[in-house]
Structure 1
Amino acid sequence: MANMFILISLNLLITSHSEGFIFSASGTRYAMYVWTTGFDINVPGCDENKFLAWDNHKNPECFTHTWDTKAKRDWLWSTCNRIGRNVNVIFLSDFHHVLKDAYDAGSCSGSGILNVRTAMTEGHEKVNGLKIYALFAVSDLQVSEQRLVKYVVYYNDHCAHSQAEKIDGVAVNNEAYAEIKCAEDSSRLTYLTNLHNIKFEANKQVIGSLPVHYSISWHWGNCESNVARENITWNGKTASAVIHMIDIFDSIDVQVGYIIYPQISDRMKIAGYDYAGSVGKPIFATFYTEKDSPCQITFFPQSCTKGSHTETEMFRIFDQFGIHGISNAKPCIHYFRGIYSSGANSNWPAYRDKKKRAACSIAKPDQSIGIFDPRRIQKDFERIFFLYIRQ
């Protein structure tokens, strides 16, 4: 009887709709950046005040590694598995030195490689369909990331004992192009060629393929000071730099630098959203959650006259991609424990294990949200669905 009630409730919620509401549990999955460290509310003394201060120089003890222990990795996998808000692509930092050491030694022995193999296996087994990209972010004009790809290739071809132990791709966060986006053609051509070398190096993997991903800023194809320089001829094609970047990489994410519409959708389109769709390249819209300024570029909880800085609002923005003309884009959260899943603020809970997710799911509803508001429908669905799967 209880199961029947829950199933009926689920059906009612699934068929309920209002303008701007998208049933996310059955559709879009997200990408997420996972940098080497994130805020850790579990460290004694690292309370909400220190979180809001966000000072890793003054309070370095509050920013711990995101995946160097099983407990930290379980926190990550649980976050990826959040019901209705699943993450199936992560850009994971801190591979450089352990993979370089293995490559230089020509050996896969050692605890570092064992930890990587363990982490890859856990992620692939605990998160259905998860793709784990090694994230490199030297961010120089020489695009030094091109020289790091070989370490991933070596690991996959020589150290991984199974498909589950392999790294699924390489992600590059090199923002140096912002310095030269309106410069003379020679420097921009060199930069694009160096980006292409990332793909060239990835193609050297012998066993299986190694996709490459790149993060761009929404304005890199624009040159307000000299519009004539917006297009550049590279590899026999004349187009803006972002079009060339989309051609080079297997997928891209766009740092939109805003948390409200229409700026989000406008900037996605400026950055090549339509072109990416026309050539079948996955494109993500990346949203900041860490503390930054001006306040309208991030969901970090702070006083701001533009937008609402809560997890609920972030997901509402995600759910409105369709009605703002960017339905083929997928959301990307920047970044894990940058506030998302940190638990350091009442509006940003942690998703550490099933027990904690249950507590979050059955919490008292937000009375500030109307009963027919799509955000309430989404919350109620997650709460009822969690109860159903426990039956």
Structure 2
Amino acid sequence: MEAFGRIWIIFMSTTYLGILSGHVSAEPCGIRATVARKRYAMYVWTTGFDRHVPGCDVAKFLEWNSKGSCFTHVWDTKAKRDWLWATCNLPGREIDAIFVSDVHHNLKEAYNTGDCATSAIARVKALLTEGHTKVPNLKIYGLYAVSDIDVSEKNLVKYIVHYNDVCATSKNERFDGVATNNEAYAGIKCGNINERLKYLDNLEKIVTEARKQVKGTLLTHYSVSWHWGRCHGKMSNMTWKGKTTDVSRHMIDIFDSIDVQVGYIIYPAISDRMKTAGYDYAMALNKPIYTTVYTNKGSPCQITFFPDDTCRTKGHNETAMFTIFDGFSANGISYAQPCIHYFRGVYSTGVHLGWPIHDATGSSPIVGK
């Protein structure tokens, strides 16, 4: 009895510590184990393919007319937001950061008029409150993507700051951050050095504007292409703010986190490109860095997981994408976090074999904390 008591104490202590850490391997007496959630990110553009629209079948999907009737707003109704939250809570593939588009004009109107009681602002509040309460530890970033050489996104940050400080009445109603998808640098990456330095100056103004928020800290996120630090096949350094390094590392210095568009769906290209873009540097600074993979239609076919049976590079389905994510550690990028581009591009549409829907029917319950 005495020996049994010691064993039981050890077992209960181990189980308790496991609960505290979020990892429990046993389920004594029918108690459900708490498992660690994944920490994926996902782009949520304004519209996505909607199989619920009559006539929007796989043939229409493969046509990929993103301006057509099969592409509907992804978060303007509760049903669509529930679809989004269920996708974020997919067991074993959970998402804890989303970059959400279509927050420009509604927040701008509130800034210009001082009116926080409009229906547009009510929808924004619903998005934020639901996301923060239905998806554990979710960070929601307002996404801007003007993509001009002057980095006009820097002039839009004030709308999120104003909304958070004036319109939001609780932490759950506030944006956690602002995300920028400005790809204009691709056109000047090997060009005039003064123009490139000015681009970095303008990027820094995004952070300056974000830091003006009074209620809490507005995080900043930026998306980079893996090759921006290279010119003519070689690393290209530039001196900015007294520091000489390639532009990708300057961008890592500027922002709280970045995602890298690797533009490939197999190894070793993915891990090699992450290294080129500053993976080791971000890890040394303890800054989040995401590996962004495409699921929308793109060319050439090997840059995206979009369905294409004719592509010489195989693996154009959800299982293949998740297998790539699971291979981060074995390929030397275990510190990176996966980022899916994008919700209802093909991911979670359920319109094509190999890409199931993760909707609000109860098939994607919240698992873990």
Asked if Structure 1 and Structure 2 have the same fold, meaning a TM-score greater than 0.5 normalized by the shorter chain, the answer is yes
For 1:56, the equivalent position in structure 2 comes to 66
Q: Which residue of the other structure, out of 247, 268, 285, is the alignment partner of 1:262?
A: 268
Structural RMSD (CA): 1.7
Q: Which residue of the other structure, out of 141, 149, 152, is the alignment partner of 1:144?
A: 152
SS in 1 for 2:214: coil
Structure 2 residue 210 is matched with structure 1 residue 202: yes
For 1:20, the equivalent position in structure 2 comes to none
For 2:8, the equivalent position in structure 1 comes to none
For 2:174, the equivalent position in structure 1 comes to 166
For 2:131 and 2:69, the matched residues in 1 are separated by 26
Q: Which residue of the other structure, out of 225, 228, 233, is the alignment partner of 1:217?
A: 225
Equivalent residue letter for 1:74: D
Equivalent residue letter for 2:290: F
For 1:129, the equivalent position in structure 2 comes to 137
Q: Which residue of the other structure, out of 305, 323, 326, is the alignment partner of 1:316?
A: 323
For 1:331 and 1:109, the matched residues in 2 are separated by 37
For 1:118 and 1:256, the matched residues in 2 are separated by 33
For 1:76, the equivalent position in structure 2 comes to 84
The runs of 5 or more residues in structure 2 that have no matched partner are 1-23, 27-34
For 1:263 and 1:48, the matched residues in 2 are separated by 30
CA shift, 1:356, in A, is 4.4
The runs of 5 or more residues in structure 1 that have no matched partner are 1-9, 13-24, 359-384
For 1:339, the equivalent position in structure 2 comes to 346
For 2:314 and 2:324, the matched residues in 1 are separated by 10
What per-residue deviation string (whole Å, max 9, x for no partner) do you get for residues 197-255 of structure 1?
Answer: 00000000011000100000000000117x58x11111111111111000000000000
For 1:372, the equivalent position in structure 2 comes to none
For 1:36, the equivalent position in structure 2 comes to 46
What per-residue deviation string (whole Å, max 9, x for no partner) do you get for residues 292-348 of structure 1?
Answer: 110000000112111311101100000000000000000000000000001111210
What per-residue deviation string (whole Å, max 9, x for no partner) do you get for residues 119-148 of structure 1?
Answer: 100000000000000000000000000000
SS in 2 for 1:233: strand
Structure 2 residue 112 is matched with structure 1 residue 104: yes
Q: Does the CA-based 8 Å contact 2:37-2:93 persist in structure 1? A: no
CA shift, 1:56, in A, is 2.5
Identity %: 60
Equivalent residue letter for 1:309: H
Alignment of 1:261-340 (within 5 A): 261-302=267-308, 303-340=310-347
SS in 2 for 1:170: strand
For 1:274 and 1:195, the matched residues in 2 are separated by 22
CA shift, 1:265, in A, is 0.1
For 2:281 and 2:135, the matched residues in 1 are separated by 31
Alignment of 1:112-127 (within 5 A): 112-127=120-135
CA shift, 1:166, in A, is 0.3
CA shift, 1:108, in A, is 1.1
SS in 2 for 1:258: coil
SS in 1 for 2:230: coil
Structure 2 residue 97 is matched with structure 1 residue 89: yes
For 1:46, the equivalent position in structure 2 comes to 56
For 1:30 and 1:145, the matched residues in 2 are separated by 24
Shift of the 109–27 alpha-carbon distance from structure 1 to 2, 3 Å rule, reads closer
SS in 2 for 1:315: helix
Q: Does the CA-based 8 Å contact 2:91-2:364 persist in structure 1? A: no
Structure 2 residue 253 is matched with structure 1 residue 243: no
Q: Does the CA-based 8 Å contact 2:263-2:294 persist in structure 1? A: yes
CA shift, 1:184, in A, is 1.7
CA shift, 1:354, in A, is 4.0
SS in 2 for 1:26: coil
For 2:238, the equivalent position in structure 1 comes to 232
Structure 2 residue 358 is matched with structure 1 residue 348: no
For 2:20, the equivalent position in structure 1 comes to none
Q: Does the CA-based 8 Å contact 2:220-2:255 persist in structure 1? A: yes
CA shift, 1:53, in A, is 1.2
For 1:56 and 1:284, the matched residues in 2 are separated by 26
Q: Does the CA-based 8 Å contact 2:89-2:364 persist in structure 1? A: no
What per-residue deviation string (whole Å, max 9, x for no partner) do you get for residues 66-85 of structure 1?
Answer: 00000000000000000000
SS in 2 for 1:268: helix
CA shift, 1:157, in A, is 0.2
CA shift, 1:355, in A, is 3.6
Equivalent residue letter for 2:288: P
For 1:354 and 1:46, the matched residues in 2 are separated by 20
